[in-house]
Chains A and B, each alone.
Chain A
Amino acid sequence: MRVMTMFWLLVVLAVSSAYAANLQTYTFDDPSKEALFRELINEIRCPKCQNQTIADSDAPLAKDLRDRTYLMVQEGATKQEVIDYMVARYGDFAYYRPPVQMSTLVLWLGPLVVILGGAGVILWRVRSRSNTDVGLSAEEQAQLAKLSAANAVESTDAANQQAGRNKGNQS
């Protein structure tokens, strides 16, 4: 148990120190620029190691892109300008927030369609169930009355018998 804890501690330490090493070399005079830089490198995807941001990735390309982001931010570029720069070169893929357009519509509307579809199915099932719950025909009514009358007689007979037996047991 202790070994495992140590192991995970080491893993966390290694990962976080690598992350810190990725950022160490960038110094800013303006804290707002630093904040923008950090925000950007955590939202721009590394094209080389595709499921990491350029902040996470150790790939040389990620470093180049961090350098470029740093330069642009230092020169006073806005967030959108840096994102446009990356998207112009690496495609929409480079930004972790896909834009709303024809090819990405399914991403944005898919969940809504599924929820609406599910709600529709539930509604439809509930409705169709209450629709089938129609009254009995006259013939069926008569049959029901006959059956329940017979049942009543039977059950009183049975109750009487039961009562009689109970009495007998008690005495």
Chain B
Amino acid sequence: MAQPSKLKWVILAFPLLLFIWLTIFLLRGLFSDPTELSSALVGKPVPAFELPDVYNPEQMHTEAVLKGRPMLLNVWATWCPTCQAEHAYLNKLADEGVYIVGLNYKDDSRAKAVNWLNTLGDPYQVNLFDERGMVAIDFGVYGAPETFLINMNGEVVYRHVGDVNDRVWQQVLGPKYEAEMATYLKQPMETEPASAGGQS
């Protein structure tokens, strides 16, 4: 046995290290949600679109409504129970001055959507109506609710899948939104902030 003992230790430690690595790997898997996909759109400008308003079918909005300032784009529908659960919190955020645009995703009917906003409150500055879900596909939406954080240049910064609640806002979305707001407020105020209307 003329093996150097150092090599022996390395060989003996190898299975242990492999085990530790595997444990960490699997332990992480235990606490991660595989249904939460990161958006392929992060860092990219929002896709081009033209959608009617929820209240007024005549009024058309384009992707221009998502540019000019940091904002949230919330994807919702009346058939989605989780959307109902998060709606009160969105109202609260809107009251605090958070700029939110709503994208109604494949709702049963326009009347239902309008009724929802009239009874539960309307936290949205702009209400987009995506009847067939084609714009939602361009956003990579695969369920509702989903919430996109968009910066002042109209680029997707982050996408949250599932409801926005106090925990999500405090820990994830809020700090990111505040950071975008800070950059937005720091720049010289020559660019015009997005108007709530959009063009027709």
A50 and B137 contact, Cβ closer than 8 Å, known pairs A61-B142, A61-B143 = no
Which of chain B's residues has its CB closest to A61's CB?
B142
Tell whether A50 pairs with B39 under 8 Å between CB atoms, given A60-B106, A68-B137: no
Asked if A88 is at the interface of the complex by the 8 Å CB criterion, the answer is yes
The CA-CA distance from A132 to B134 in the complex, in Å, is: 71
A88–B47 alpha-carbon span in the complex (Å): 11
Q: Are A91 and B38 in contact (CB under 8 A)?
A: yes
Q: Decide: A93 and B37 in contact? CB cutoff 8 A.
A: yes
Residue from A47, A89, A91, A93 having most chain B Cβ neighbours under 10 A: A89
Q: Which A residues are in CB contact (< 8 Å) with B38?
A: 91
Contacts of B106 in A (CB 8 A): 60
Residues 121-148 (chain A) with a chain B CB within 8 angstroms: 128, 131-132
Output the least CB separation between B40 and chain A (Å): 4
Selected contact of A65 from candidates B2, B3, B137, B138, CB within 8 Å = B137
Contact with B along A35-52 (1 / 0, CB 8 A): 000000000000110100
Partner of B142, one of A48, A68, A87, A131: A48
Interface residues of A in 55-78 (CB under 8 A from B): 60-61, 64-65, 68
The A interface is mostly helix, strand or loop, or mixed, namely helix
The CA of A67 and the CA of B106, in the complex, are separated in Å by 15
Q: Please determine whether A91 and B39 come into contact, CB atoms closer than 8 angstroms.
A: yes
Residue B97 CB within 8 A of the other chain: no
Contacts of B140 in A (CB 8 A): 47, 89-91
Residue of B nearest to A128 (CB): B3
Point out the residue from A60, A61, A89, A132 that lies within 8 Å of B40, measured CB to CB. Answer: A89
The one of B3, B40, B133 that contacts A64, using a Cβ cutoff of 8 Å: B133
Which of A61, A89, A93, A132 is within 8 Å of B138, CB to CB? A89
Q: Find chain A residues with CB under 8 A from B94 CB.
A: none
- Cross-chain contact B1 with A48 (CB below 8 angstroms): no
* Complex interface: chain B residues within 8 A of A50 (CB): 34-35
B37 touches A90 (CB 8 A): yes
Closest beta carbon of chain A to B70's beta carbon, Å? 23
Closest chain A residue to B39 by CB distance?
A91
Chain B minimum-CB-distance residue to A62: B142
Chain A residues with CB under 8 A of B133: 60-61, 64
Instruction: Take A48-B142, A50-B34, A128-B3 as given contacts and tell me if A64 and B39 are in contact as well, using a CB distance cutoff of 8 Å.
Output: no
Report A's interface with B, CB cutoff 8 A. 47-48, 50, 60-61, 64-65, 68, 87-91, 93, 128, 131-132
Residues of chain B having any CB pair with chain A under 8 Å:
1-3, 34-35, 37-41, 106, 132-134, 137-140, 142-143
10 closest A-B pairs by CB: A47-B142, A91-B40, A89-B140, A48-B142, A90-B140, A64-B133, A61-B142, A93-B37, A89-B40, A48-B143
